[in-house]
A and B are shown apart, each in its own frame.
Chain A
Amino acid sequence: MTTSTPTRVELTDEAADLLRRLVGTHGPVMFHQSGGCCDGSSPMCFADGDFITGDADIHLQDLLVEGVEKPIPFWMSVSQYAYWKHTHLTVDVVPGRGSGFSLEAPEGVRFLIRSRLMTEPELKAYDLI
């Protein structure tokens, strides 16, 4: 999926399909990017509002999924963003055993972040250079 305006986070088609199913089952959802141990460094998907965000978090993107009414917000802690900000993120999905309380685990799949370095226009758009 590509958009004309710069983004920080995008979805693969497979991730969008899974999100459509999850929203169908659980209602609106959200992402919070995890750090640290075991299942850390993975995007965690929760029922929207189940994870309370605050000043310690930054809202990186509203992800649009065709057929899903409410955009899916993608959050990360501000401290983690300081180390991640120069990279563009894509939420993908792989077979596996999720963990944490992320909603997709019972489906036998796991959301996964793929990263690439931001391009110069992207860095400019987000005041990173």
Chain B
Amino acid sequence: MTVYERPGSSGSKIKVEEKYGHFIGGEFVAPKKGQYFENFAPQTGEVFTQVGRGTEEDIEAALDAAHNAADSWGRTSTTERANILVQIAQRIEDNLEDLAVLESWENGKAVRETLAADLPLAVDHFRYFAGALRAQEGSISEIDENTIAYHFHEPLGVVGQIIPWNFPILMATWKLAPALAAGNAVVLKPAEQTPWSILKVVELIGDLLPPGVLNIVNGFGAEAGKPLASNKRVAKVAFTGETTTGRLIMQYASQNLIPVTLELGGKSPNVFFDDVASERDAFYDKALEGFTMFALNQGEVCTCPSRALVQSSIYSEFMKDAVARVEKIKLGNPLDTETTMGAQASNDQLEKIKSYLDIGKQEGAKVLTGGEQAKLDGDLAGGYYVQPTVFEGDNSMRVFQEEIFGPVVSVTQFDDEADALKTANDTLYGLGAGVWSRDAGRAYRMGRGIKAGRVWTNNYHAYPAHAAFGGYKQSGIGRENHRMMLDHYQQTKNLLVSYSPDALGFF
């Protein structure tokens, strides 16, 4: 067991400056208007640093730097770019423990998770796209004996990326690794809830990239996000967030006729068939953990398995065991490695979750455990904590239909496979799903039937590089985590070449 010291405190080797500027053209620069905003530690609710409040002027400066760098970066060999990505991965890995601690401090999540998931996945992701780039090939189509179509991958140029606050470093990595691998220069805007940890990453890795290839401008959506997303000088926008902003970004993109990739969340069903409970063995234990996965990252995951569908024949017994498992969650100091669930990322997130606990109860959902804000002691009393909550109810209730983005699961029963599929698909979203069964045929049929981009089968919440991740329905456009994301950051150049000396004979 380890309890890490808070970054910036006398016992911690992680330095926290009084304030941070933007990272533009390879160096940290003050915001043009000289304004900063407060950054809160969700664990205590206290302000721990100030971060640049970017505006259109800063976005334009970042785009200038990116455009200056884009052409030469796009012409570097794939070997050179891949080697830089590998070096980035190595620097992160060499500093993994510190980055995991500061990510916990930034976001509120348990350091146990950042040590085991967020940071190792980020390291692997950079390495994966280094490999994917090296292995990528163009193609040749032989049209006829003397006519050949060559297909080359070319970078888009300068791209804009807007990152969410739930996994600040990992979500930035999901977007940066393929964009940089493909040869693009990037202007990235982190979420205003979590503007700091990505700057700490850049302190470490910034020198590895040519100046201007990676630029980071912090600030509010209305002041910095909009001028980036609507800018005529970006060739593509990538966004992770919610549906209204997703539509707004598509709307701006339509005016500039550029592509977008969007990841917009979900209301993922986690389906437990009766055969799960046919033995009390390791698999049954794994399934109970799978149920409890709604509390991973305090439920602040787009794919949170926030609807559990349990077959009626095992419902009572399974739910008794599942609730017992949920009640073992240890909510507490996120910097303690024994803590299994930390703080919500912000006060407004806490308030939103409370508003859903309220409407869930009003609609008649039964609270099987939790159901309230959690009050911790000492200086954690000001932090944003929620009890892991299990609601029992009906799929038509709002707590079954809306992404609460908190440690809240809504449970209902089903009778048979058809019933399960109907309920699983009765949602606006289609990002993730889970299916648990010892019957491979049944699990396969359900997996193919559920309208979602990722169906975890007998596991949940794994995010390995090389497995495509993205949404059906209102959950977005594009597939991350896979080499197909390279395509989303590349143009296809076709050279159509005639090797024939003969005229066609038209004129």
Contact = CB atoms under 8 A, between A and B. Distances in A.
B71 interface: no
B348 A101 contact: no
Interface in A68-89: 77, 79-80, 83-84, 87
Interface stretch (A8-16, A36-44, A58-66): A36-44
Interface residues of B, number: 56
Interface stretch (B15-23, B273-281, B350-358, B453-461): B350-358
Interface string B397-439: 0100111110000000000000000000000110000000000
B428 A35 contact: yes
Given A97-B192, A106-B223, A117-B363, A36 B347 contact: no
B403 A96 contact: no
A33 B33 CA distance: 31
B404 A41 contact: yes
A112 B355 contact: yes
Contacts of B38: 108
A108 B223 CA distance: 13
A36 B225 contact: no
Contacts of A7: none
Contacts of B191: 38, 99
A32 B246 CA distance: 12
A121 interface: no
B280 to A, nearest CB: 36
A36 B266 CA distance: 6
Contacts of B240: 37-38
A106 B243 CA distance: 21
Contact of A33 (B220, B244, B265, B349): B244
Nearest to A112: B351
Most buried by B among A34, A77, A116: A34
A23 B300 CA distance: 32
B313 to A, nearest CB: 29
A86 B303 CA distance: 26
A99 B193 contact: yes
Contacts of A110: 348, 351
A94 interface: yes
A99 B221 contact: yes
A117 B351 contact: no
A102 B241 CA distance: 13
B220 A106 contact: yes
B347 A41 contact: no
Contacts of B405: 37-38, 40-41
Interface string A95-114: 11111111101101010111
Nearest to B397: A83
5 closest A-B pairs by CB = A37-B265, A96-B348, A40-B242, A36-B265, A34-B244
18 contacts: A36-B474, A37-B403, A38-B265, A38-B405, A41-B403, A41-B405, A42-B242, A42-B348, A42-B352, A51-B244, A94-B351, A96-B349, A97-B40, A100-B244, A100-B248, A106-B222, A108-B38, A115-B362
Interface of A: 32-42, 44, 46, 50-52, 77, 79-80, 83-84, 87, 94-103, 105-106, 108, 110, 112-117
